[in-house]
Amino acid sequence: MIKMDHYAIVSVYDKRGLDTLVDGLVETGFGIISTGGTYDAIRKIICRKKLKARLYKVSEITGSPEILDGRVKTLHPMIHGSILYRRDKEEHMKEAGQQKLLNIEVVAINLYPFEAAVEKGAGNEELIEEIDIGGPTMLISAVKNHEHVSVVVDPEMYPKLISELKKNNCTVPIDTRRRFAVRAINRLADYRSTIAQELSARLAGEESLRLSYKKGKKIGKYGENWHQKAWIYNKGKGLADSEQLSGIELGYNNYFDMDAAFSALLDIKDNPAAVIVKHHNPCGIATGKNLLQSLKKAWEGDDISAFGSVICLSEKPGMDTLRFLDGRFIEVLIVPDIDKECLSYLKEKKKNLRVIRAKLERTEDYEYRSIEGGMLKTTKDRKLYLGRDKELFGTPALVRDNLGKERLVGQVTKKKMDEGAIGLVEFSIKASRCLKSNAITICYEYEKGHYQQIGMGCGQPNRLNSVKIAAEKALHNMKEQYGMEKASEILSSDRVVLCSDAFFPFSDSIEIISELGIRNVIQPGGSIKDREVIGSADSFGMSMIFTGVRHFKH
């Protein structure tokens, strides 16, 4: 019969946590089998700590040397047989004894850094050498026999493994082994997926896409509509991995609107800021000298649409900010953090309100959208305008974009905006690119350095309609807050700008804008009728800046 001593095979490129793993394995009586650099690292740990350990090279177990520059080390029946035989099957146990297999119960493996080699731009020959063979093969063997073998693929898993071995007389409970196996098979899937994508591109000139999302779960009672179902998956980071602190279950539409609010807030979070989203469009965006002021100004941007909205705040809210929400119905509040006292207040006042704690940071460089039978991928829209801010306010000049096309950038009208308006201009562009195209936003510097969206029109097939909607909303908001006379004065001042996400194809929009009294316009330019549009703006005494960057959001 097989000798039932406990063995672990350890082969790791990432040596973090190796001390913890070796200490635990030696303490629980495991013999350790290892290869190459890992063997040397373990031997040094054992010598430094004067541990009484059983350490073996793989070649001592297999009776075969490492060959082909280390390409073949662990690919041997003694290794894989010792991992794969079933301890609950009499025939396997008998054969294992005949073959003198070992009782390998722990497989600790992490893989060659293929992903890191891709990121640093390694050449084909170097990249090929970072394709791990033995490691993945041992991982899949251990996963297949996880009913009897524990497999760990990350240093952060070592403490759990050692804790379970110590508590359970050198065994690991089956539930833990299953979780370990799932972690291992997902790591292996990600690894091989990266290899497949990179080699497809390099060797065959074919782009392939394999996405990895985990922790999937069904969400809500229904999906976007009552007759649909919905699920969410995440990568263990970002908004998808946020923490719900209170309130009823989140649904599909909540997550969709949360993403819009979260993304818009990331653009302006360097100041106290608030974003209010309804039906995936920010209906209120504002910055202020404090969070309360920002929230008030965002709410005033469209107090009707704000009913039943999602709100995202840039800072931990105080009681003054939360009391502003009394009597106002909102679905979700996203915050970077919140005090216990404030959370208790919200739980008492708004029992159904979903309070979400999320770290305000960017986690994705790309966007993905499914179409029938396929997937679209695009880089995130992060550029505001071509060139530098001084060029934006300077004499019109041709600036080359990333397509190699020269685009006109700068002040294209007789009336000029002052360079001091750069903050308002950038805020307006950021607001417009958050809205569904065709998008128009009207923004106001209500205090020095603090900005508010006061009107927006979006999602219209006709840009002229978006202009009309934004103008109507801006005029209504200003009349409500300041009265008609003051509203007209504000709208025609240099503290208000209208921003379009794409060029104006005709001058009819300029005529509507002039009727509202607005005198400052920002747009990408690039229409065949640019000259006509500029002439119309000049006739109404408007300033107009071309940015050279379009911000469609479909």
Measured distance CA(46)–CA(51) in Å, rounded: 5
pLDDT of residue 33: 93
127, 29 contact by CB (below 8 A): no
Measured distance CA(393)–CA(408) in Å, rounded: 12
pLDDT digits 0-9 by tens, 283-339: 999 999 999 999 999 999 999 999 999 999 999 999 999 999 999 999 999 999 999
Q: Which of 67-76, 105-114, 429-438, 476-485 has the lowest mean pLDDT?
A: 67-76
273, 292 contact by CB (below 8 A): no
pLDDT of residue 1: 37
Query: Across all residues in the chain, what is the average pLDDT?
Result: 91
Measured distance CA(508)–CA(550) in Å, rounded: 20
Distance of CA 45 to CAs 20, 33, 265, Å? 10, 14, 48
Name the DSSP class of 72. B
pLDDT digits 0-9 by tens, 346-365: 999 998 999 999 999 888 88
Strands 496-500 and 520-523 turn out to be parallel
pLDDT digits 0-9 by tens, 192-232: 998 999 889 898 888 888 888 888 889 889 999 999 999 99
pTM value is 0.84
Do 217-357 and 385-546 share a fold? yes
* Nearest Cα to Cα of residue 428 among 418, 411, 443, 439: 443
Measured distance CA(456)–CA(499) in Å, rounded: 10
Grouping H, G, I as helix, E, B as strand and the rest as coil, residue 449 is: coil
pLDDT of residue 121: 86
pLDDT average, residue stretch 442-469 = 95
The residues with which 377 forms a beta bridge, in sequence order, are 368
52, 29 contact by CB (below 8 A): no
pLDDT of residue 2: 41
Percent of the chain with pLDDT over 90: 68
Work out the burial of residue 320: count CB atoms within 10 Å of its CB; fewer than 13 is exposed, 13-18 middle, 19 or more buried: exposed
Question: Helix/strand/coil (H, E, C) string of 255-273?
Answer: HHHHHHHHHHHHHHCCCCE
Distance of CA 192 to CAs 132, 187, 212, 339, Å? 10, 9, 11, 43
Fold of the domain built from segment(s) 7-204: Rossmann fold (3.40.50)
pLDDT digits 0-9 by tens, 20-65: 999 999 989 899 999 888 999 999 999 898 888 889 998 888 888 8
Domain coordinates in residue numbering, the chain: 7-204, 217-357, 385-546
More confident residue, 449 or 210: 449
CATH value of 385-546 in 1.10.3470.10, 3.40.140.20, 3.40.190.10, 3.30.2010.20: 3.40.140.20
Sign of the dihedral defined by the CA atoms of residues 95, 152, 70, 204, in that order: positive
85, 95 contact by CB (below 8 A): yes
CATH value of 217-357 in 3.70.10.10, 3.10.20.30, 3.40.140.20, 3.20.20.70: 3.40.140.20
Whether the predicted pLDDT of 3 surpasses 70: no
State the DSSP H helix or E strand holding residue 451, giving kind and residue range, or none if neither.
Answer: strand 450-457
Whether the predicted pLDDT of 70 surpasses 90: no
